[in-house]
Amino acid sequence: MQQGVLKTLLVYSTAFALAGAAAWAVATLTAIAMLETPTSFATIRSILFPPLAGLATFALVFGLGTGHPMRAQFWLVGLALTFTTLGLALAAIWQGYTTPLEALVLGVLVLFGSGFFAALRGQSPQSGEAKP
């Protein structure tokens, strides 16, 4: 493997892990808030805020690690992919096709794989450096 790919994998893995931790923390806090005051806004907040926190954390860490900030395309594709993956995982759980743990593992693998592929596509093949 090229050194640029290894650096991208390291930065991407670190950003992905921190994003998952941030999403988990926000999900926990919104669940606690929803138990205290169960309103429709609390439900919407518990659905929307954890993925947004994860994406924001990922954008910050990956942007600092590579030296290039995330563009609008990241936010559009990232949000669409994240919410689609979450929606399909929830649908599979509700229909009884899978357990929550299996859905979580499959969702993480889909998000990690597709995002890493996109990160590698953003590199120039000659230098291994990220495109501006």
Classify 79 as helix, strand or coil. Answer: helix
CA dist., res. 93 & res. 1, Å (int): 38
Reported as a single tens digit per residue, the pLDDT across 42-70 is 888 888 899 999 999 999 999 999 888 88
| Nearest residue to 108 via CA among 20, 30, 47, 5 | 20
State pTM to two decimals: 0.82
Reported as a single tens digit per residue, the pLDDT across 81-131 is 999 999 999 999 999 999 999 999 999 999 999 988 888 887 544 444 455
Residue type, 91: A
CA dist., res. 74 & res. 94, Å (int): 29
CA dist., res. 31 & res. 42, Å (int): 8
Classify 68 as helix, strand or coil. Answer: coil
